[in-house]
Amino acid sequence: MMSGMVRLYGLFFLAEVVLAVCALISCLSAEEGEIRALPRIAWVLIILFFPLVGSIAWFVAGREPHGRRPRTAWPVGNGFAESERRRPVAPDDDPEFLSRLAERTRRDDQELLRRWEDDLRRREEQLRRREDDRDRPEV
């Protein structure tokens, strides 16, 4: 008989903890316009200090129902039909951006190749000087 009561109280305690965790997650992830009656920090403290009552109060009075929009929200859209809206173009779909990128890449490649050729000429010249210095008879 006593172990049955312990199990029942354990089940109630577990349900209270799960409800409090769900309420905290819901409160912390709610948008600012979805919170009613009190500031977010007040709701968090109420849920933490009074888990059962605070959680129930949050779900009943603290948040806007999902079906309704907050009164302060503006309607979606800017007054133009969806088909008339100018959409931003992703860089990889913009031909002008791609042509500028290709030109810049070509210029960078040409500059790099020019520097490599200059470096190669300089090194070849240094090697020739060393060979000339070795081939000269010492006086």
Q: What is the pLDDT of residue 71?
A: 52
Q: pLDDT (tens digit, 9 = 90+) per residue, 53-75?
A: 999 999 898 887 665 555 555 55
Dihedral Cα 26, 17, 49, 59, nearest 10 deg: 40
DSSP code of 82? G
pTM: 0.46
Six-digit token pair at 72? 């302060």
Six-digit token pair at 59? 């779900």
Q: What is the CA radius of gyration of the chain?
A: 37
Six-digit token pair at 65? 């129902």
Q: pLDDT (tens digit, 9 = 90+) per residue, 99-133?
A: 998 999 999 999 999 999 999 999 999 999 988 88
Dihedral Cα 20, 21, 27, 28, nearest 10 deg: 150
Measured between alpha carbons, how far apart are the two ends of the chain, in Å?
117
